[in-house]
Structure 1
Amino acid sequence: MKAKEKAKGFASLTTITNCFGHKRNAFYKYKNRADKRLKQEQHIIEIVKKRRKSLPREGVRKLTKSLDDDFIKANLKVGRDTLFNVLRKHQMLTLRKKYSSRTTNSYHRFYKYNNIIKDVEVTRPNQVWVSDITYIRTVKGFCYLALITDMYSRKIVGYDLSDSLELNGCVRALKKALYQAKNTKGLIHHSDRGIQYCSNVYTQILKRNKVEISMTEENH
């Protein structure tokens, strides 16, 4: 396996973590915490979206009070500061009109796919992969770790470390995940609507491998 990985130009996770002076298990602990936080944020967003359907302009202070019972039922501890930070991160704050023209990387010419995993019950490995990019600060600046995680097992199935947000890093992570996977029949690839994941190069790799494509919905 090591010889094959070397031939493909992939560095091992141990090599990557050693470069930053971290042990392999410390990396996984960090990734598990990040996964748990992301899952909680997604749950909060879904609850807020349901409320916003009837009261689209309700601010953070009122949402904290009106959704308190919903958060308790979902076993989520959500205070005003936490809710504010989550909504700000996902651009869901009720801002003044002059700020509404602010754009993100999801505004591009490539086709954006629907979210097809929101009602899916994940029961096995290689059913849903989730792609994301983690920003790592180093003494020399920022590095970008493209990650593909199996939603069921929470294991990292593909990764790539680079010094830019260009498409190549995400493509290398995807190719590594597909190269190492034993069975991808019925697999769904889920990501945000960033330009890296919507690009023709990335989506064509998924289509050639008969992987279904799912993306988060636009935040309104």
Structure 2
Amino acid sequence: MIHAEKAHYPIVLMCRVLRIARSSYYAWAAGEQAREARCRQDQALVHEITVIHLASRGTYGVPRVHAELRRQGQAVNRKRVERLMREHGIAGHSRRTGRRSLTRADRTAAPAPDLIGRDFTAPAPGLRVAGDITYVPTTEGWLYLVKLPLIVDTWRLGP
């Protein structure tokens, strides 16, 4: 607003009314050319990102596009690549579309009965035993974590 109205009103007066430091206005005005240059650089970088993305048949995301730009000799920050790709709707293809279970649930099966009635107290150790299994994804595949025992007395293990 100050820049648009400086022909009609003194800059000092407008800055005082808007409670803005005069130095802030002059710093903003001096940075206008730098902002325009940055915008032109961003447009050129978006073109390069688009070329790399299309060459990868739309599969490359931010990390690979950034690595390819670095290989081409462009010193560019990963966050800048991420911002430009987000602003222009450029996204890589991800194989991980959601969580997958290791088994397919039988929708028609009856749920397992609660044999201990949610009562986990036991009169003596080893009389009620229950367990839990957890699947943990790792780089080498699924890791199965079994937690035993939870002491409960309704079930007996073995003869």
Normalising by structure 1, report the TM-score.
0.31
Greater RCO, CA 8 A, separation 6+: 1
